[in-house]
Chain A
């Protein structure tokens, strides 16, 4: 060690390199297993559930269900959309925002781009009604 001062002994240096190598491999495992996209499935469930519930609700004036009434015409949509909006607000948890789209317009909130959203479409005799939900 007299003239080897300052030199790390070879095995220790090799061990250090080995440790670095091992952790390089391990870090690919730790980082490389991607987190599953669990939000999407839950949001789709929310959308499907609200669509199911609204499909089962009686309309306020005519038609088969509340959703059919909403899709019937411009006038019907104008008259009913606030009510549908309120109903969705009651059904969904507070941290979930929503919109409901028919051929005559969109009720609810503006959907921001780039956020994951769940959707459910219910066919009615006057056209499709689509419910979309996303996290606030």
Chain B
């Protein structure tokens, strides 16, 4: 600085001010970037852990949605609502959560476009009612084998006045018996693990429609359950 015109010092002062401003700005930007990097890593882990645990809870055998492990019950899925996420799975109030099944949104508590998604392969099981009205003509004790496995059978017996149905056997085991005659609707639980054969003992003719057998075969389809969490 010695021997210089006073303007030099002034110029240097301006340069110094500019330099300080630039440095401060750079430092601020740098801190923001570093903070964002740490924040991203942490947030992602939280989201992922939350999504994974919620997905695990939903496909667990004890879940309100599932029939067995990784098998969802279609009627429970249909009743699943957005508020169930908060009421049944506490601790998710702070997060936005969306539960989807094959692109169909089952429940959502907020916008989760930026969230982390965990996908689980599941089966969706639906019990549908089917009915058979076997024509049990001929003498002897007619037997009917149901074409599909079912967990229960609803028998509606409406024999003629001169016919008495005394016994109904399922897989050789007596399920219903009344010497003076069976009539009306009877629900019998059967093993869902094998097809059931109904044997009907009657002392007369049973025409078509006298015996109505309603059974509930399972239809399963595979689907992907997606749980997205935005912390």
Q: Are B70 and A56 in contact (CB under 8 A)?
A: yes
In B1-44, which residues have CB < 8 Å from any A CB? 7-8, 11-12, 15-16, 18-20, 22-23, 26-27, 29-30, 33-34, 37-38, 40-41, 44
| Surface stretch bound by A, among B86-94, B113-121, B129-137, B162-170 | B113-121
Q: 3 closest Cβ contacts across the A-B interface?
A: A15-B19, A26-B30, A49-B121
**CB contact between B70 and one of A22, A23, A53, A93 (< 8 Å): that residue:** A53
User: Chain A at the B interface: mostly helix, strand, loop or mixed?
Assistant: helix
Contact string against B for A residues 85-97, beta-carbon threshold 8 Å, 1 for contact and 0 otherwise: 0000011110000
13 extra interface residue pairs, beta carbon distance < 8 Å, beyond A26-B33, A45-B119, A53-B71: A1-B8, A12-B15, A22-B27, A30-B37, A33-B37, A33-B40, A41-B52, A45-B118, A53-B121, A56-B69, A56-B70, A91-B121, A93-B121
Q: Which of B7, B16, B70, B123 contacts A11 (CB 8 A)?
A: B16
Find B22's partner among A9, A15, A45 (CB 8 Å cutoff).
Answer: A15
B19, B68, B69, B116 — which one has the most chain A CB atoms within 10 A of its CB? B19
Interface contact A42-B15, CB-CB below 8 Å:
no
A-binding residues in B (CB < 8 A): 7-8, 11-12, 15-16, 18-20, 22-23, 26-27, 29-30, 33-34, 37-38, 40-41, 44-45, 48, 52, 55, 59, 68-71, 116, 118-123, 193, 222, 224
B interface secondary structure, majority: helix
In the complex formed, the residue of A with least CB distance to B69 is A52
Could you tell me which residues of chain A, from 2 to 43, have a CB within 8 Å of some CB in chain B? 4, 9-12, 14-15, 18-19, 22-23, 25-26, 29-30, 33, 36, 38, 41-42
- B34 contacts A29, C-beta separation under 8 Å: yes
A50-69 contact mask (Cβ, 8 Å, vs B): 1 or 0: 10110010100000000000
Q: A42-B118, A93-B224 in contact; A9/B71 too (CB < 8 A)?
A: no
Chain A interface residue number, banded = 20 to 34
Whether A46 is near chain B, meaning CB under 8 Å from some CB there, is yes
Contact B121 A46 (CB under 8 A): yes
Whose C-beta in chain A lies nearest to the C-beta of B149? A58
Given contact pairs A26-B34, A93-B224, A52 touches B70 in the complex (Cβ within 8 A)? yes
Chain A residues with CB under 8 Å of chain B are 1, 4, 9-12, 14-15, 18-19, 22-23, 25-26, 29-30, 33, 36, 38, 41-42, 45-46, 49-50, 52-53, 56, 58, 90-93
Chosen A-B contacts, 14 in total, with CB atoms closer than 8 Å, are A1-B8, A9-B12, A12-B15, A12-B18, A15-B20, A15-B22, A15-B23, A18-B19, A33-B37, A42-B118, A45-B120, A49-B121, A52-B69, A56-B68
Q: Is B38 a contact partner of A33 (Cβ separation < 8 A)? A: yes
The docked-state distance in angstroms from the alpha carbon of A23 to that of B122 is 48
Residues on B with C-beta less than 8 A from A19 are 22-23, 26
